[in-house]
Amino acid sequence: MSLEIWQGDITSLKVDAIVNAANRELRGGGGVDGAIHRAAGPKLDPACQALGGCETGEAKITPGFDLPAKYVIHTVGPIYSGSHSDPLLLAACYRNSLRVAQENGLHSVAFSAISTGVYGYPLGAASKIAFTEVRKWLRDHKDYDLRVIMVAYDARTYALYQKLLG
């Protein structure tokens, strides 16, 4: 079990699964979602459509197709509104993604910063939730060998992740 940070493009990582900050329709959008859809190639969209969408806080899995990652776990983060449900839904994204990884026998998972792009979740608050949930999951599943990589696309996010990793 390990929790690591890495700076760069999540689509370049050779891991069992990368976690996509998806929209509810599981259609390639902007940001990391669009980048993952482009890098995975044309087979990802039909595979996503076969899943019938995804509710906020839930997670679903598809093959990675042309990605170095074997799978993509799609999770839909909340659009930030400042409501009391925002942190609960964001936390559920991390928990459910890790559950899906375990259910599928995966042992290395890379997370993007869910909801911090166009969905407007403040990076500091979202990152604290992410690290808290991942650490809690790893603590509660000590018998499961899982490597979790928190991927920072830019230097600002990486610096924040370094601080949170301790």
- Give 25's contacts (C-beta < 8 A, 6+ positions apart): 53
**SS3 state at 148:** strand
Structure tokens given for 142: 């000590």
In this structure, which amino acid lies at residue 107? H
Known active-site residue 33? yes
CB atoms within 10 A of CB 3: 16
Structure tokens given for 147: 């490597």
* Number of separate helices (H) and strands (E) present in the chain: 5, 6
Catalytic residue among 9, 16, 33, 154: 33
- Which residues are catalytically annotated? 33
